[in-house]
Amino acid sequence: MVKDMIKLENKRLMACAELIMSDGCKDRHAADIGTDHGYLAAYLVQSGICLTAVAADINEKPLESAKRTIAEQGLEGSVTALLSDGLDSVPRGEITHIICAGMGGELIADILSRCEWAKECTLILQPMTKPDELREWLFDHGFAVNRELARRDGRFVYSVMRAKFSPEGVPYEKDELYLNAGLIDPGEEDGAEYIRIAAERLKRAGEGILSADSGSAEGRRRIQVAEKLLSRIGGQL
Ligand SMILES: C[S@@+](CC[C@H](N)C(=O)[O-])C[C@H]1O[C@@H](n2cnc3c(N)ncnc32)[C@H](O)[C@@H]1O
């Protein structure tokens, strides 16, 4: 029996869908890496945002769950469940969008670093940890982040990025690893919260460095960046 259409209630996952839908490309084909229940992959096809999706996971149990979702929704013809470590076993095919959501920033960078054709796709990335390290990896490997949203899930607010390879390279200042949160809208409640938390974390890091070495330029720099971030939400340290 086909169940009701998938409703994505998770704001992180909805933001992934929104970033795909708003990218101006047509005939989209997604690879959702670390798909777990397969809800996002199923939603993308059911809602018409993508024509097909690969729902990939490294573990058998989540993959079984994704297969159940696909069968319950009658999506066997358009969503394929695949056991894969990252993109290693995902055929290049027609994939236009790679999604890595709900994993650590370092793991996402590692998954992308092992896939040569990731450069040909739009990347939708939602790191649960270390967003700054993921941004650094992206910039160092020529991927520009062209849109970024902040979305709350439970107690935390996460970044959701859309990135694309830029053949000219991506020159960047170190501050942008934090200020790329500069693409996040401070007018949205979750955006303002994300910026405030990033600024406080930077300020604490700067103070820690200065307490060990009061003349540290890096310590001062972090506090200055924290102030810049806070000024975007009308706050002060
Ligand atoms: C926390 S769930 C995230 C599910 C969903 N993407 C979301 O954001 O809500 C993380 C999933 O990633 C899978 N995973 C972890 N490492 C992976 C890898 N190297 N390749 C593919 N999947 C992986 C896990 O098995 C798990 O199902």
- DSSP for 197-228 reads HHHHHHHHHHHHHHHH-TT-HHHHHHHHHHHH
- pLDDT of the residue at 175: 72
Task: Output the residue whose Cα is nearest ligand 1's atom 12.
Answer: 34
Contacts of 227 (CB under 8 A, 6+ apart): 199, 236, 237
Q: Among 47, 57, 53, which residue's Cα sits nearest to residue 18?
A: 47
Contacts of 5 (CB under 8 A, 6+ apart): 46, 73
Q: Is the CB of 33 under 6 A from ligand 1?
A: yes
pLDDT of residue 181: 62
Ligand 1 touching residue 101 (CB < 6 A): yes
How does 47-57 read in b/e, with b if 16+ C-beta sit within 10 Å? eebbebbbbbb
Beta carbon of 38 within 6 Å of any ligand 1 atom:
no
- Gap from CA of 215 to ligand 1 centroid (Å): 43
pLDDT score of 179: 67
CA distance 106 to 28: 27
Strand order across the 97-103 sheet: 79-83, 52-57, 29-33, 97-103, 122-127, 156-165, 143-153
86 lines ligand 1 (CB under 6 A): yes
Task: Give the nearest ligand 1 atom to 62 CA.
Answer: 27
Provide the pLDDT for residue 171: 78
Q: What is the mean pLDDT of each run of 10 residues along the chain (237 residues)?
A: 81 98 93 98 97 98 98 97 98 98 98 98 97 92 93 96 90 73 87 92 94 95 91 79
Query: What is the C-alpha to C-alpha distance for residues 97 and 50, in angstroms, rounded to an integer?
Result: 9
Model pLDDT for residues 95-124, shown as the tens digit of each residue: 999 999 999 999 999 999 999 999 999 999
Distance 34 CA to ligand 1 centre (A): 3
